[in-house]
Amino acid sequence: MLKILLYFLIGVLPLCYAAFYIGRKKARTGELESGERFHSRPAHYGWYSVIWMAVPSLVISFAFTIIGSTKIFKVPFTMHLTTILLIAAFGLWYSQKKIAKNLKARNFIEKTIKVTLIAASLVSILTTIGIVFSILFESMKFFSQVSFWNFITGTEWDPDTAFLQGAGRDAAHAAEAKFGSVPIFAGTLMITLIALAVAVPIGLFSAIFMSEYASSRVRGWVKPVLEILAGIPSVVYGFFAAITVSPLIVHAANFFGLQADYTNALTPGLVMGIMIIPFVSSLSDDVINAIPQNMREGSLALGMTRSETMKHVLLPAAMPGIISSVLLAFSRAIGETMIVVMAAGLQPKLSANPLDGMTTVTVKIVDALTGDQSFDSLETLSAFGLSFVLLIITLILNIVSSVIIRKFRKQYV
């Protein structure tokens, strides 16, 4: 990393500045000598020279690095350096040769920027596609041995004997491994809903208070304090849940004559809800503040109170952003692992009682991938099956939320 940074600071930046200076000077000199104005400003010709000098050499340098990392052929450092310097020199020579009155340097720069932005967008898109296909291919291996229908409808998760098959041992007399994912997804849904039941009202009410009722001084103090909650490591929340909240819940349940496990679903749900409050409050506050002021003033001018304005004007207008914040909080809650491991345990259990112990999808994925099983064993591959179903559920939720957001946007924009 240090080598790359030094290469960039000592090599690339001075050369780029030199190319910019040379290109701009040539354009200025050309304008003075010919007495005519060039198509673009001198600075555009400077950037034109920088692009021709830097981009090809950086592309070749990146290609050499990739080839070297794959161990197909390790390019010697002297060859690497000499090649990119020659390419940079050729690019600079070519750009100086092309600079003339009719050269549309500004258009060239704009096209280069456009291509760069498209490439940046493609990186994230292709990365997403790569993740989806990697999960899909691995999950197909799992579902070639386990029925997909039994996986999504089964109510028992007991993969303990799957290692016999992975180790090539006789599993004829062992109990059959069971991969029914319903208890795992039910636990995930219950813990996530408890977290949202805590985070959404508290976060939304906090956002309303900060945006409409609090003074700027109070808002400037409260908002950063709330956002600190999002910066606390999840392992700290896990300790808080296991050591403090869980015993309190057990004692409270005993007080009311109820039976509660120390590893129950209510504890991680409550603590996770506290953790994701800033996702709802901060984003909702920003959305409500972004509503045009004339909507507030128009409502107040018609005689509505401040609370009526919030209820009938501001909240409906901000609803797409609020839904987005809730979805973001939902995604954060459904992907949380550490709190659930420390407070809810690893046992998949199908129960409607939040005081029982249960687990979530992400915890079982980690559990399946961190054991001493071979990578092609059924128990390890079950992690990809769980990931695949979780991906489908998340995709469906995103589609539904997009439809809702579009509906509100059409109504109020």
Give the domain ranges of the chain.
1-118, 178-410
pLDDT at 320: 85
157 forms beta bridges with: 179
What gap in Å lies between CA 46 and CA 26, rounded to an integer?
9
* pTM beyond 0.85: no
**Pick from 166, 190, 206: nearest CA to 264:** 190
Give the residue among 390, 267, 402, 400 at the shortest CA–CA distance from 331. Answer: 390
The whole-number pLDDT of residue 201 equals: 94
Could you tell me which residues come within 8 angstroms of residue 155 by beta carbon, excluding any fewer than 6 positions away? 180, 182, 183, 350
CATH, domain range 178-410 = 1.10.3720.10
Dig out the tokens for 164 from the structure.
Answer: 């016999």
Beta carbons within 8 Å of 219's beta carbon, 6+ residues apart: 210, 211
Tokens of 368: 């399946």
Closest CA to 309 of 325, 324, 320, 293: 293
Instruction: Please report where in the chains the tokens 């920003």 appear, as a residue.
Output: 286
What is the C-alpha to C-alpha distance for residues 389 and 391, in angstroms, rounded to an integer? 5
Q: Give me the pLDDT at residue 193, please.
A: 93
Contact partners, residue 400, CB within 8 Å, separation at least 6: none
Q: Phi and psi for 136 in degrees, rounded to 5?
A: -65, -45
Using N-to-C axis directions, what is the helix angle for 277-289 and 216-231, rounded to 10°?
A: 140
Which parts of the chain register pLDDT below 50?
none
Give the pLDDT of residue 166.
Answer: 56
